[in-house]
Structures are given as C-alpha cells and as structure tokens.
Amino acid sequence: MVNIAPSILSADFSRLGEELEAVEKAGADWIHLDIMDGHFVPNLTFGAPVVKSIRSKSGLYFDAHLMVMNPDDHFEDFARAGVDGITIHQETGLHLDRSITAIKELGLDAGISLNPATPVSTIEHLLPRLDLVLIMSVNPGFGGQRFIDYTLDKIIALKVLKEKSGWDFKIAVDGGVVPENAALLIESGAEVLVAGSAIFGKEDYRAAISALRVGL
Ligand code: DX5
Ligand code: ZN
C-alpha cells in the first residue's frame, strides 16, 4: 500500500506539534520535512532544532528532504534530532557515494532526490544502496505548485529498474500531488506520495489523506 507523507511546509508553523498529531490521527504514514537553505532553493524553512522539538509529537517515520548546499555538514545534526531517513539532492552532491555512506553510518535510511530535469541515469550506480528515490515533480522551493507531467516518465523508469533488479529502494514523488493525479502516480510506480497543500490546505485531513490513497 502507498505511504502518504504530509509535508509540513504547508502546515501552520505556529502550531506544528498539533498539526503533526492531527495528520497522524488522520492516517498519515510518514512526516516529510522540507529543509531549505535559501541557496540551493530560493526559500528558507527550518533546521534540526525545530525537528528535534517536534520529534516527541509523533511516532511516525521522519523523512528529511535536504534542499541545501553542502548537505553532508548537517547529517549528524539531523540524526541527533531524531529523523529516520535523510534524502539529499543529486544536484548538491559532489561526492554522492560518500554522502550515502555517511548517512548509512549514522544508522539512517538514505535517499536521493532528482530535480525535474535531472535524469534517473545519473544515480543508476547508487540505486542498489538507496532506501528512497525522491522524484521532484515541481521545481523545489515552494509548496502549491503544479505537477510537471514529464516527471512521470522517471517514476515509470524507476519502477522498471526496480522490477528488473530486485533492488528495494522506495519510489517517492514530491510536488503537485493531488487526488486527481494520485491514482496514476501509484499505478506508475510511486510508493510514497508527498503532499503539502493537498493535505494541510484542506479542512478535513482524514478525507484529504484518503483521497490521495485511493485517488479520484
Ligand atoms: C517543494 C517541497 C515539497 C512541498 C510540496 O520543494 O519539496 O515537499 O511541500 O508541496 P505541494 O504538495 O503543495 O506541492
Ligand atoms: Zn519535499
């Protein structure tokens, strides 16, 4: 079954703890944490201290999506803050192999994210060691953007590679995920749907999460 990962980027930051409890009660599987540095992406969000302060509010899997330059400098801080997995961007990694090893050595799951224009082939050799591949289906930096259609091809390509090889990374999709495209995404191979505005932008979190799980 697909995992639904609400992105707290669209949550009410003044009530983060309550928002986490609410989505957990409403049936969320993971919590997606968008870490932005104002350099790799134009926006700034929050760092390890905030993650640490909300860790006790939820028993769900904490999935840290690092949209930052020099991500390796922050692995230990996020590990100490209690995240379960760290995903870095292919485009920020000069030494991706080393970064993946470092994340694994901290006992965390390791993922790589691809911007819309970055091909899957750029991470092919790392796939056997990855726990997650996060396909960005919008240009990272903001919530509430429109899904970029050609990124679906990359989800399908990853599914084919996964089936052929038996590697067990999960395929995640992030950006513009809405009930209207959820069924197609799942059918194409997405195993984790990250969604910000399609959950936190709604009144009824339970209905919003179910709508993503089954599609419209
Ligand atoms: C964008 C972030 C996403 C964002 C998705 O850079 O990585 O996780 O929160 O927001 P929606 O679901 O509103 O497109
Ligand atoms: Zn994200």
Q: Residue 83: CB within 6 Å of ligand 1?
A: no
Verify whether residue 29 is a known catalytic residue.
no
Confidence at residue 215, expressed as pLDDT on a 0 to 100 scale: 72
Q: Residue 7: CB within 6 Å of ligand 1?
A: yes
Check 34, 63, 72, 131 and give the catalytic one: 34
Which-ligand-closest: CA of 201?
A: 1
Q: Residue 93: CB within 6 Å of ligand 1?
A: no
Helix axes 16-25, 205-214, angle to 10 degrees: 50
pLDDT tens by residue, 44-82: 999 999 999 999 999 999 999 999 999 999 999 999 999
DSSP E strands, 157-209: 170-174, 192-195
Q: Out of 7, 10, 31, 197, give the residue to mutate to test ligand 1, the one with the largest number of ligand atoms within 8 Å of its CB.
A: 7
Q: Out of 4, 36, 44, 138, give the residue to mutate to test ligand 1, the one with the largest number of ligand atoms within 8 Å of its CB.
A: 138
Verify whether residue 149 is a known catalytic residue.
no
User: Ligand 2 center to residue 32 CA distance, Å?
Assistant: 6
Which H or E run contains 70? Answer: none
- In order, the DSSP letters of 79-92 are HHHT-SEEEEEGGG
User: Ligand 1 center to residue 33 CA distance, Å?
Assistant: 10
Are 24 and 60 spatial neighbours (Cβ–Cβ below 8 Å)? yes
pLDDT digits (tens), the chain, 216 positions: 899 999 999 999 999 999 999 999 999 999 999 999 999 999 999 999 999 999 999 999 999 999 999 999 999 999 999 999 999 999 998 899 999 999 999 999 999 999 999 999 999 999 999 999 999 999 999 999 999 999 999 999 999 999 999 999 999 999 999 999 999 999 999 999 999 999 999 999 999 999 999 876
Q: Residue 115: CB within 6 Å of ligand 1?
A: no
Q: Which of 88, 39, 41, 81 is nearest to 62 (CA)?
A: 81
Which H or E run contains 62? Answer: strand 61-67
Q: Report the nearest atom of ligand 1 relative to the CA of 32.
A: 8
Q: Residue 138: CB within 6 Å of ligand 1?
A: yes
pTM above 0.85, yes or no: yes
For residue 32, CA distances in Å to 35, 109, 119 come to: 10, 14, 23
Q: Residue 173: CB within 6 Å of ligand 1?
A: no
Confidence at residue 96, expressed as pLDDT on a 0 to 100 scale: 98
